[in-house]
């Protein structure tokens, strides 16, 4: 090859590379120019290699020319790369600011209320309309509030009935029932008072289809003068009708024993799922609802309320069991599972 031709080749190659870089609009396209021309095996490097075999006088001419070619093309490559990166960054930012959060996307996953949230809202609405206060209480509790104030002393067999989750802290446990809400409210408020409190409780228990270490309860308490069993039964009825969204639910009460009430009762509801007996009521037409009663004088005394002047009623029902009954849920574990197939049904 004539040396005259080589000058032309160098000039043409430079023009070609600069034109390609100028045309490249994305990082990927700029990178493609590098791969095509500027690698160790590319045309620029090949021309550089030819310097080695040239005579001294040709080296003097072509050395600077080839160095210029290499330097100019690699500098232009670096500049162009920065330019397109910046352009791409600005375009992306613009795209982000133009993002329409209200844009409708078909087949979006819709949220729904968890069954607990739904039934609690139903019940609370009714009790708020009857003048009750909705209160929240703590899940980490002390021994006095969870047991002693509720007339359950240390040696009382009722403490064995509730296998407790104790914390690695002195005098701290996971509440075994929502009844701590009664105590905490009575310690801070003077009668007359009426509260409803729903929340999570904990028992040290193995998990299966009907047991879980955590479950929901709803607690109801009213303290005033001259409270009677009739007031209690009316409140239970209102609770059941709100929960099951049915009017005129028939119920009955049976005498029972709980340390925090005197007298204590157990409430049953006439089966709302059948007329002649079914698997839910086990053919008896009655469904057990839970324990209730008139507040034990010792509980009032523990909260510095005079039992000679005031009395009250209380009930604490297992909201988990009642929610399962309402919806025909046969495995308690799905309620806390976060299983979308289950939750989408509500
Ligand atoms: Zn039935």
Query: If the chain, 346 residues long, is cut into consecutive pieces of 10 residues, what is the mean pLDDT of each piece?
Result: 79 93 93 93 88 86 89 94 93 82 72 92 96 96 95 80 85 94 96 97 88 93 97 96 93 95 96 90 93 97 97 96 92 88 86
Predicted pLDDT of residue 158: 67
> Which numeric CATH code is attached to 115-343?
3.30.930.10
Predicted pLDDT of residue 177: 95
Q: How far is CA 54 from CA 205, 327, 344, in A?
A: 90, 92, 80
Tell me the CA–centroid distance for residue 319 and ligand 1, in Å. 19
Tell me the CA–centroid distance for residue 287 and ligand 1, in Å. 8
User: Strands, DSSP E only, in the chain?
Assistant: 133-134, 140-141, 173-174, 193-202, 214-224, 251-256, 261-270, 286-295, 311-318
Tell me the CA–centroid distance for residue 150 and ligand 1, in Å. 34
Flag whether the pTM goes above 0.75: no
Gap between the terminal Cα atoms of the chain: 83
- List, in order, residues 6 or more apart from 312 with CB less than 8 Å away: 191, 221, 222, 223, 224, 227, 294, 295, 300
Q: What are phi and psi of 57, to 5 degrees?
A: -65, -35
The residue count of the chain comes to: 346
Tell me the CA–centroid distance for residue 268 and ligand 1, in Å. 12
Tell me the CA–centroid distance for residue 271 and ligand 1, in Å. 5
**Measured between alpha carbons, how far is 252 from 230 in angstroms, rounded to an integer?**
12
From the CA atom positions of the chain, what is the Rg in Å? 40
Tell me the CA–centroid distance for residue 256 and ligand 1, in Å. 23
**Measured between alpha carbons, how far is 139 from 68 in angstroms, rounded to an integer?**
77
Tell me the CA–centroid distance for residue 115 and ligand 1, in Å. 22
Q: What are phi and psi of 337, to 5 degrees?
A: -80, -25
Predicted pLDDT of residue 101: 72
**Measured between alpha carbons, how far is 21 from 295 in angstroms, rounded to an integer?**
87
Q: How far is CA 340 from CA 108, 215, 224, 285, in A?
A: 14, 20, 45, 34
Tell me the CA–centroid distance for residue 70 and ligand 1, in Å. 91
- Minimal CA–CA distance to 289: which of 242, 325, 246? 325
Tell me the CA–centroid distance for residue 121 and ligand 1, in Å. 26
Predicted pLDDT of residue 193: 97
Asked if the peptide bond before residue 192 counts as cis, ω within 30 degrees of 0, the response is: yes
Tell me the CA–centroid distance for residue 277 and ligand 1, in Å. 4
């Amino acid at each position: 090859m004539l040396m005259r031709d080589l000058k032309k080749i160098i000039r043409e190659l430079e023009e070609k590379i600069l034109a390609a870089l100028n045309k490249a609009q994305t990082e990927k396209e700029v990178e493609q120019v590098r791969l095509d021309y500027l690698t160790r095996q590319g045309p620029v490097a090949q021309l550089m290699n030819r310097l080695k075999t040239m005579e001294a006088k040709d080296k003097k001419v072509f050395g600077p020319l080839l160095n210029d070619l290499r330097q100019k093309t690699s500098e232009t490559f670096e500049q162009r790369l920065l330019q397109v990166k910046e352009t791409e960054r600005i375009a992306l930012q613009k795209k982000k600011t133009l993002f329409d959060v209200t844009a409708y996307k078909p087949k979006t996953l819709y949220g729904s209320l968890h069954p607990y949230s739904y039934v609690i809202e139903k019940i609370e609405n009714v009790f708020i309309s009857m003048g009750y206060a909705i209160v929240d209480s703590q899940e980490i509790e002390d021994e006095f509030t969870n047991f002693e104030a509720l007339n359950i002393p240390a040696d009382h067999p009722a403490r064995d009935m509730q296998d407790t989750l104790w914390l690695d802290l002195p005098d701290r446990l996971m509440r075994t029932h929502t009844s701590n809400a009664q105590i905490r409210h009575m310690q801070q408020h003077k009668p007359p008072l009426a509260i409803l409190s729903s929340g999570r409780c904990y028992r040290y228990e193995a998990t299966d289809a009907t047991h879980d270490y955590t479950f929901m309860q709803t607690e109801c308490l009213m303290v005033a003068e001259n409270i009677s069993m009739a007031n209690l039964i009316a409140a239970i009825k209102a609770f059941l009708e709100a929960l099951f969204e049915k009017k005129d639910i028939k119920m009955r009460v049976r005498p029972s024993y709980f340390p925090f009430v005197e007298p204590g009762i157990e409430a049953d509801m006439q089966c709302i799922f059948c007329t002649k007996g079914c698997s839910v009521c086990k053919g008896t037409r009655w469904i057990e609802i839970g324990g209730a009663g008139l507040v034990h004088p010792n509980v009032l005394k523990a909260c510095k309320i005079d039992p000679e002047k005031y009395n009250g009623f209380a009930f604490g029902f297992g909201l988990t069991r009642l929610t399962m009954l309402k919806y025909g849920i046969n495995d308690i574990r799905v309620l806390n599972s976060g299983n979308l197939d289950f939750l989408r049904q509500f």
